[in-house]
Structure 1
Amino acid sequence: MVQPSLISYSFNSPPQPALLDVASISADHILLLDSYFSIVVFHGMTIAQWRNMGYQNQPEHQAFALLLEAPQVDAQIIIRDRFPVPRLVVCDQHGSQVSNFP
C-alpha cells in the first residue's frame, strides 16, 4: 500500500512533514502532497495573492521567490524519478486546479 506524504513549506522553517489533515492548510504555507499517482502543489491564500501580485519578481522579495520555487523543484524531482509518471496539479486555496502552472 502506498502511503501519501505531505510536506509543508514556509518562511519560518525548512520544509517539514505535515499531518495529512485539514489543520495543515494555512494561508502562509505551500503544501506538497505526494500520493504516488498525483503530485499536488497547494498554495495558501496569502502566498497565492502575493504570487499573483508579482512579489517574486521584485529583488527585495528574493526569499519569497525561493519559497515558491522549492516545492516546484521537489515535485519535478519526484516526477522525474517515478514510473508511472504522476500527474502534477498546482492549485491555490479557494481556487481551482491547474495542470500547467507558470
Structure 2
Amino acid sequence: QRRIRVTTIARNWADVQSQLRHIEAAFDQEAAAVLMARLGVFRAESEEGPDVLRWLDRQLIRLCQKFGQYNKEDPTSFRLSDSFSLYPQFMFHLRRSPFLQVFNNSPDESSYYRHHFARQDLTQSLIMIQPILYSYSFHGPPETIAQWRKAGYQDMPEYENFKHLLQAPLDDAQEILQARFPMPRYINTEHGGSQARFLLSKVNPSQTHNNLYAWGQETGAPILTDDVSLQVFMDHLKKLAVSSAC
C-alpha cells in the first residue's frame, strides 16, 4: 500500500517589476552572502578561478543596478539601502578569501578550506568570509609593546598591568580556539615578524605602494600588496553600476 502525504503552505510572492520595495525590505544580506559564497565554492571546483571571480562580480553589479539608487553615469549619486549596504563588503572579502583564491595554497589546503566552509552555519561562515580584527591598547600607539616584551617588562612586579595586557589577547584567543571546530591555527607574531604575513594578507590594504605618497594621507607602515582596498573596490563598483554600457 502506498500513501502520499501532501502539505500545503502559504508563501508571499512579490513581482520584481511592481513590488521591488517588498523584495528589498525582505532581503537578508548575510544569508545572501553565504549563499553566493557556497555557489562560488561549488563553481570553483570545476571552473577556473578568474572565471568564478568574474561571475561573482557580474552578479554583484547586477544586484547594485537593480536595487541601487543612482543617476545614470554619475557614480557619486549611487546609494544602497541598509538592507544591501554590507553585501558588497562581504563580496570584497569573499574574493580575497582562500575559498576562491588558491595562490600560495596547495590543492589539499584549498579543498580543506572549502570542505569545512560548506558545513558551517551562517555566523561561522560570515566570520570565515570576513574575519574580525580585535585591537588592544595601552594608553597610546602600540609601537613599543614588542620592545617592552623583549625586554622582559612583563616579568617585573612593578609592571603587573603590562603583563595583564599581554595576557588578555592570549586568553581571548584560547577561548575562540576551544569554541571552533576544526580548531584554527594559532600564530603569535609582531610587527615585522616572519609570521606577520598571515595577518597582512587579511587586512584591508588601505595604504599600498600605489598610494603611499598620496597628498593629505596619514603616514604609516605601508602594506605592499597588489590588492585593491575596499574603497577602491567600491568606487569601481559604483562606476560599473551606473554605467549604461553594463
TM normalised by structure 2 equals: 0.26
For the pair 1:9 / 2:107, whether they are aligned, the reply is no
Q: Unpaired runs of 5+ in structure 1? A: 13-25, 29-44
Relative contact order, higher structure (CA 8 A, sep 6+): 1
Q: Which structure 1 residue ranges, 4+ long, deviate > 3 Å from structure 2?
A: none
- Shift of residue 27, structure 1, vs aligned partner: 5.2
Question: Which residue does the alignment assign to 2:145?
Answer: 47
Structure 1 residue matching 2:189: 3-state secondary structure: strand
Which residue is 1:69 aligned to?
Answer: 167
Task: Give 3-state SS (helix, strand or coil) of 1:8's partner.
Answer: coil
> For the pair shown, which has the larger CA radius of gyration, 1 or 2?
2
Q: Give the whole-Å Cα distance in 1 for the aligned partners of 2:166 and 2:141.
A: 14
Amino acid in structure 2 at the alignment position of 1:60: E
For residues 24-81 of structure 1, the C-alpha deviation after alignment (integer angstroms, 9 at most, x for no partner) is xx951xxxxxxxxxxxxxxxx4111100100000011111100000000000000001
Aligned equivalents of 1:96 and 1:27: distance in 2?
Answer: 22
Q: CA RMSD in A?
A: 1.9
Q: Name the count of aligned residue pairs.
A: 69
Identity among equivalent positions (%) equals 51
Q: Which has the higher strand share?
A: 1
TM-score of the pair, normalised by structure 1: 0.61
- From the two aligned structures, give the one with the greater helix fraction: 2
